[in-house]
Amino acid sequence: MTDGKSVRVVAAGDHFILPSLIRKALAHQLACDVVELQLGWPLAPFGPVAEVTEASDAEDELIEALAGAQVLVTQMGPVTERVLDACPGLRLVVVCRGGPVNVNLDAAKRRDVHVCYAPGRNAAATAEFTIGLLLAALRRIPQAHDLLARQGSWEGAAYYTYEHSGLELEDLPVGLVGYGAVGSRVARVLCAFGARVMVYDPYVHGEIHGLRVASLEDLLRRSAAITLHARLTAETRGLIGARELALLPAGAVVVNAARGPLLDEEALCDALERGHLSAAALDTYATEPLPALSRLHALADRVVLTPHLGGASRAVAQKAAAIAAAEVGRWARGETLAHALT
């Protein structure tokens, strides 16, 4: 057990998970010395830093703030081998996100530094955003808004013609690829809309909301719309490519708010351009930010594009800070950590 008052914690927040949110969450767990550090994300881009990925380029700032600290709570702080070498007193790193890709786990393990993360923090937000994307794509809401609000044109009324009108969720066969924390929530909401929900996930057993389908190919052939919820692994990278898109019925809709590389964007553009797919809605991309030369930009009348906002809710930031602070409290009390990787 550690005396909480002797614990020095660096709250390396950003413009989403604010340092003040981390401080407030910690105050509910233990009395400790908190040093706040403001990192730039999302107003400043993240990317690879030394040997870690998806981090703020702030090794020097982090090293300075961590002087004398035992605990780091962060979302984007780059916990590289250099940072760990410079901070020998560090004993616990808690990452306020679903995976600690900004931490060199091997280097942390060698130095006996525990690394925890915040699973499930954005499941509800991403599920809600997925439903929003699906509705927007099915009913052409962004395109109609752009014509009327930005261009002052009533031409969006053409979406009321039978030829151009959209699809409704009630009785629509919707296929979910993946049934984890996000997919299961999406399934429940779609069932409430009256959609005919089908699920393909070979790793999930037990009861589900909807009809379990044995193969991805069968799911695709039967779905007027699909939403992607699989984890990105070597096995699932490029899971939905040209062959898979061709299995969808003509006029189908594709939604991806999971991970960009699950979907072959070039194959998606081909299917949209030739009219096999009627629409797509994407929040994640193979390369982020989405390149200016991406073919998706030229398909604005058929796509809904958002800049990776699925997890952007105030509740997510608050949940992440609370999950992280609870881990710090467990560590200080000598209890078993709930979400430790090292």
CB 121 within 8 A of CB 327: no
The region, left, alpha or beta by phi > 0 then psi within -120 to 50, assigned to residue 267 is alpha
Crossing angle between the packed helical segments 314-332 and 19-27, to the nearest 10 degrees = 50
Residue 305's identity, in one-letter code, is L
- Under 8 Å CB-to-CB from 134, ≥6 apart: which residues? 169, 174, 225, 227, 253, 255, 281
Nearest CA to 64 out of 43, 36, 42 is that of 36
Nearest CA to 319 out of 22, 99, 5, 100 is that of 22
Nearest CA to 199 out of 189, 209, 185 is that of 209
Active site residues: 259, 288, 308
How far apart (Å, rounded) are the C-alpha atoms in residues 91 and 23? 19
